């Protein structure tokens, strides 16, 4: 449950529930999740005993990195001063 997840780990490592809900509203993220290979990777991690090992392994996969980057952009948007003008 959400409550169990929120109780795990340190307070500073948590993402507020409101920001997590933004993930469900992202069209870009929904598009990525249509990829069956990415879905299989996520299911494998979810069902794994050693999630840390798999995360390290999958962070070498460009598709998984694209997914992770997309999630991070949603919950932690880059600050405007760090963005180069177009």
> Has residue 81 got a pLDDT over 90?
no
Please give the Cα distance from 50 to 68 (Å, whole number): 19
Of 36 and 7, the structure prediction assigns the larger pLDDT to 36
Q: State the pTM of this model.
A: 0.73
* Comparison of pLDDT for 32 and 80, the residue scoring more: 32
Q: Smallest Cα–Cα separation from 42: which of 59, 64, 60? A: 64
Q: Which of 39, 17, 27 is nearest to 70 (CA)?
A: 27
3-class secondary-structure state, position 29: helix
Taking residues 27-54, report their average pLDDT: 94
Q: What is the pLDDT of residue 82?
A: 56
What's the whole-number average pLDDT of the chain?
A: 83
């Amino acid at each position: 449950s959400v409550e169990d997840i929120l109780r795990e780990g340190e307070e500073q490592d948590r993402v507020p529930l409101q920001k997590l809900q933004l993930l469900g509203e992202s069209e870009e993220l929904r598009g990525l999740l249509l990829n069956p290979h990415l879905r299989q990777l996520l299911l494998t991690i979810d069902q794994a005993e050693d999630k840390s090992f798999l995360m390290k392994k999958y962070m070498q996969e460009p598709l998984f990195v694209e997914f992770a980057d997309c999630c991070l952009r949603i919950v932690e948007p880059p600050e405007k001063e760090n963005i180069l003008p177009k």
